[in-house]
Amino acid sequence: MTAVLRLPDFPWDSLAPLKERASAFADADLPGASGRGIVDLSVGTPVDATPQVVRDALASASDAPGYPLTYGTADLREAVAAWFAARRGVPDVDPSGVLPTIGSKELVAWLPVLLGLGPGDVVGFPRVAYPTYDVGARLAGATPLPVDSLTSLGPPTAATTPKLLWLNTPGNPTGKVLGVEHLAKVVVWAREHGVVVASDECYAELDWRPREAGSTEPPTTPSILDPRVTGGSHEGLLCVYSLSKQSNLAGYRAAFVVGDPAVVGRVLEVRKHAGMIVPWPVQRALLAALGDVAHVEEQKARYAARRAVLLPAVEAFGLRVDDSEAGLYLWATAGEDGRETLARLAEVGVLAAPGDFYGAAGRRHVRIALTAPDERIAAAATRLERAAGR
């Protein structure tokens, strides 16, 4: 119980007063839905329909009386390897280094435990980051360590050198994309110091950076498993990926971890004993989703359209949008404490997430999600622009 007692409060509970204020918004001069109620942009929960091809696969596999394989079926692991080659520029994934997981959050939270980390071990993660990296270290009884850069770790010591180092690219909440050169330097350093690197890349299909000059292809977010990064070996490297965002499968809990077969094998052995198994129908749905590119492109286009509506309205409201190169959020600041910004947004019926949810270094920012229906995104834009006098 010691580790559980050390967990922080669940952060979204603190938004209740702001949610109540935003919910009370009413402006008779604004038309229809634009003039009433909350536009909740505080959580990145998908709202669009699950693709029919995935739903059909789930239904077809619904007769599932036996226990599924913790390791996943061979065709699923091969499909993940093929997806990395086709969509991420990683042609050398070994299917033996693929493991389906029950969503990505549970893998993030339990990876330190699954790797056998405990008291005296350090888990590093970005200084502005998804809070579950910190929680996972605490669940293991390890020491959570926010990291600005490799140089900030100083000379290698047991107190400062992580056994596990988390990367997040594209980042949540910042939307920052780490480049090939940066990732390659991390890999070289990690191998010199015996550090496992786990890269959380669940927003990789939602890259908003412009095409390079002369290219007809959209930019590809580099993976930690990219051969330009790895030097041809996945030793000590893990990539975590979820279909929650790209395929609207948050309710399915469909994800996987991929990388060094030896490290994945260690994780697999514990999960087999613990019964951490992705249900058979979900494994079949995951397989179908990986084989269908069309729905991913359609969903990306929806988010791109919402971003095009919301971004200029946020800037008109007086916020500067930093990074936000990819993913489902605008990382914005008015140069003030983020809680003050949230209060001003709530006055016009818009709820966002405070940057301090993601670490003290984010306290002057807010995170604004694109995951709302078109009508609510339009309502938020109308309110923000109206408040700015436009």
Domain CATH code at residue 299: 3.90.1150.10
pLDDT digits (tens, 9 = 90+) for 207-234: 999 877 767 677 789 999 999 999 999 9
Strand (E) or helix (H) holding 125:
strand 122-126
Residue 195 has pLDDT above 80, yes or no: yes
Q: How far apart are CA 303 and CA 306, in angstroms?
A: 5
Q: Is there a domain that residue 133 lies in?
A: yes
Q: Is there a domain that residue 74 lies in?
A: yes
Q: Are residues 313 and 207 in the same domain?
A: no
Q: Is there a domain that residue 59 lies in?
A: no
Which two tokens mark 229?
Answer: 């990064």
Q: Is there a domain that residue 234 lies in?
A: yes
Q: Which residue has the higher pLDDT, 160 or 367?
A: 367
Span 76-104, average pLDDT? 97
Q: Are residues 162 and 229 in the same domain?
A: yes
Q: Are residues 282 and 300 in the same domain?
A: no
Span 286-310, average pLDDT? 97
Q: How far apart are CA 259 and CA 125, in angstroms?
A: 19
Instruction: Check which CATH number belongs to the domain holding 172 and give it.
Output: 3.40.640.10
Q: How far apart are CA 162 and CA 128, in angstroms?
A: 17
Say what the pLDDT of residue 149 is. Answer: 80
**Of the residues 265, 292, 319, the one at which a domain ends:** 292
Q: Are residues 332 and 287 in the same domain?
A: no
Q: Are residues 278 and 200 in the same domain?
A: yes
Q: Are residues 217 and 94 in the same domain?
A: yes
Q: Is there a domain that residue 367 lies in?
A: yes
Span 344-366, average pLDDT? 96
Say what the pLDDT of residue 129 is. Answer: 95
Residue type, 97: G
Q: Are residues 226 and 363 in the same domain?
A: no
Q: Is there a domain that residue 60 lies in?
A: no
Query: Which residues, in sequence order, are CB contacts of 374 under 8 Å at separation 6+?
Result: 302, 305, 306
pLDDT digits (tens, 9 = 90+) for 125-144: 999 999 999 999 999 999 99
Provide the terminal-to-terminal Cα distance of the chain, rounded to the nearest Å. Answer: 54
Cβ atoms 285, 252 nearer than 8 A: yes
Count of structural domains within the chain: 2
* 3-class SS of residue 99: strand
- Looking at the chain, the whole-number percentage of residues with pLDDT higher than 70 is 95
pLDDT digits (tens, 9 = 90+) for 156-186: 776 778 999 999 999 999 999 999 999 999 9
What mean pLDDT value characterizes the chain?
93
Beta strands in 28-103 (DSSP E): 39-40, 98-102
Q: Is 217 exposed, middle or buried (0-12, 13-18, 19+ CB in 10 A)?
A: exposed
Query: Which residues, in sequence order, are CB contacts of 298 under 8 Å at separation 6+?
Result: none
Range of the domain at 228: 65-292
Q: Are residues 242 and 321 in the same domain?
A: no
Q: Is 31 exposed, middle or buried (0-12, 13-18, 19+ CB in 10 A)?
A: exposed
Q: Is there a domain that residue 55 lies in?
A: no
Say what the pLDDT of residue 148 is. Answer: 84
Q: Are residues 184 and 308 in the same domain?
A: no
**Of the residues 292, 317, 333, the one at which a domain ends:** 292
Confidence of residue 1 (pLDDT cuts 50, 70, 90): very low
Q: Are residues 199 and 257 in the same domain?
A: yes
Q: Are residues 159 and 108 in the same domain?
A: yes
Q: Which residue has the higher pLDDT, 56 or 152?
A: 56
**Of the residues 273, 292, 311, the one at which a domain ends:** 292
Say what the pLDDT of residue 274 is. Answer: 95
Residue 4 has pLDDT above 50, yes or no: no
pLDDT digits (tens, 9 = 90+) for 14-42: 888 999 999 998 888 888 878 889 999 99
Q: Is there a domain that residue 379 lies in?
A: yes
Nearest-10 Cα torsion for 300, 301, 306, 311: 80
Say what the pLDDT of residue 218 is. Answer: 72
The sign of the torsion formed by the CA atoms of 189, 192, 196, 202 equals positive
Say what the pLDDT of residue 75 is. Answer: 97
Q: Are residues 30 and 79 in the same domain?
A: no
